[in-house]
C-alpha cells in the first residue's frame, strides 16, 4: 500500500482521515503542532504511523516533515493537506497580520506541501493529492473575507495543479465541507456566543442550519470523500462538496 502524509492530523477532520487511510492499509505519517494530539491519533490507527510534530506554516518545518517521512516510509504517495484555521472579523477591521495568517496557513502551507510532494510522485508515476478546502472556496459570506480569499486561492491551486499533472498519474482534488462538527466549529460557536449573547446550543443550531439537511457534517463524511478521491484515478481537478446540499453542483 501507499505512504501517506496527513497535515493537521491531531484532531477533527485530519484525525478521521488518518484513521481511514490507516484502516485501508496505508502507512500514515501524521503532522500537527500538538504532539499529544498526534499521539492520540496514532493510537487510533490500526497500521503503521509516524507522528511528526511541526509547524507547517514554516518552510523549514515542511521540509523536515517530508524528509522524515521519506526516511521512514519512502516518498509520499498520498498527501492530504488538511491543516487550516479560520478567523472572523468585519472587513474594515481585518489587520495585515490577520490577513497574512490566513494566507500562510490555508494557502501557502498547502502550496508548499504540494510543491514538495509532486516531483517524487511524478517520478513514480503515481500520486494522490487531496486538499481539504471549504464551501468558502466557492462562495463568500460576511465577516470571513481573509479565510474565504485563502480558500478560494487554494481551490485555484488544486485546479491548476490537476491540469498540469493530468498525464503523469498524479491526481489533485479538493474536498469542500460545510460546517463540520470539529473543534474549529466549536471556536465559531464560541465567537457567536461572545458577539450575540446567544447560548452555545443556539449558536450551534445556527451553524447546523447552514446545511439544508439541518445537521453539521461529520468528520467521517469528510474522510469518506477523501478516500473516494484517493481510490478513483479518473477523478482530478474536482472540488467535492460535502455540505448537506448547500451548494449544488
Strand partners, 240: 175
pLDDT band, residue 186 (cuts 50/70/90): confident
Angstrom CA distances, 116 to 61, 81, 129, stand at 12, 12, 12
| pLDDT on residue 23 | 98
Main-chain dihedrals φ then ψ at residue 237, nearest 5 degrees: 75, 20
Average pLDDT, the chain: 96
Domains of the chain: 3-178+218-242 (3.40.50.720)
Active site annotation includes 126:
no
Mean pLDDT of 11-37: 98
| pLDDT on residue 197 | 87
pLDDT band, residue 192 (cuts 50/70/90): confident
| pLDDT on residue 21 | 98
Express as a percent the part of the chain with pLDDT over 70.
100
| pLDDT on residue 17 | 98
- The pTM (predicted TM-score) of the whole model is 0.95
Q: What is the pLDDT of residues 70-90, one digit of tens each?
A: 999 999 999 999 999 999 999
Express as a percent the part of the chain with pLDDT over 90.
89
Q: What is the pLDDT of residues 32-45, one digit of tens each?
A: 999 999 999 999 99
pLDDT band, residue 195 (cuts 50/70/90): confident
Cα-Cα-Cα-Cα dihedral sign, residues 206, 209, 211, 215: positive
Mean pLDDT of 84-106: 96
How crowded is residue 195: how many other Cβ atoms within 10 Å of its Cβ? Answer: 11
Calculate helix-pair angle for 59-73, 109-124, nearest 10 degrees.
30
Report which of residues 113 and 193 the model is more confident about.
Answer: 113
Q: 187 pLDDT exceeds 90?
A: no
Among the listed residues 126, 147, 179, 228, the single catalytic one is 147
Q: 148 pLDDT exceeds 90?
A: yes
pLDDT band, residue 6 (cuts 50/70/90): very high
| pLDDT on residue 191 | 82
Angstrom CA distances, 142 to 71, 93, 147, 191, stand at 45, 13, 11, 14
Q: What is the pLDDT of residues 121-132, one digit of tens each?
A: 999 999 999 999
How many Å apart are CA 145 and CA 88, to the nearest integer?
A: 8
Amino acid at each position: 500500500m501507499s505512504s501517506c502524509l496527513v497535515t493537521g492530523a491531531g484532531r477533527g477532520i485530519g484525525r478521521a482521515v488518518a484513521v481511514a487511510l490507516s484502516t485501508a492499509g496505508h502507512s500514515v505519517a501524521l503532522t500537527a503542532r500538538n504532539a499529544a494530539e498526534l499521539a492520540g491519533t496514532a493510537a487510533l490507527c490500526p497500521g503503521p504511523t509516524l507522528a511528526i510534530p511541526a509547524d507547517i506554516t514554516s518552510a523549514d518545518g515542511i521540509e523536515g516533515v517530508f524528509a522524515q517521512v521519506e526516511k521512514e516510509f519512502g516518498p509520499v504517495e498520498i498527501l492530504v493537506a488538511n491543516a487550516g484555521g479560520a478567523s472572523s472579523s468585519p472587513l474594515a477591521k481585518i489587520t495585515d497580520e490577520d490577513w497574512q495568517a490566513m494566507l500562510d496557513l490555508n494557502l501557502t502551507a498547502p502550496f508548499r506541501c504540494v510543491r514538495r510532494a509532486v516531483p517524487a510522485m511524478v517520478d513514480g508515476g503515481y500520486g494522490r493529492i487531496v486538499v481539504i478546502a471549504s464551501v468558502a472556496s466557492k462562495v463568500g459570506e460576511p465577516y470571513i473575507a481573509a479565510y474565504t480569499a485563502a480558500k478560494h486561492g487554494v481551490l485555484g491551486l488544486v485546479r491548476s495543479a490537476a491540469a498540469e499533472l493530468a498525464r503523469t498519474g498524479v491526481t489533485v482534488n479538493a474536498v469542500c465541507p460545510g460546517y463540520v462538527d470539529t473543534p474549529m466549529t466549536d471556536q465559531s460557536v464560541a465567537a457567536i456566543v461572545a458577539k450575540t449573547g446567544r447560548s452555545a446550543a443556539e449558536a450551534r443550531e445556527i451553524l447546523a442550519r447552514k446545511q439544508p439537511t439541518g445537521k453539521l457534517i461529520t468528520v467521517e463524511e469528510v474522510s469518506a470523500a477523501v478516500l473516494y478521491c484517493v481510490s478513483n484515478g479518473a477523478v482530478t481537478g474536482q472540488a467535492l462538496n460535502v455540505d448537506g446540499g448547500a451548494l449544488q453542483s
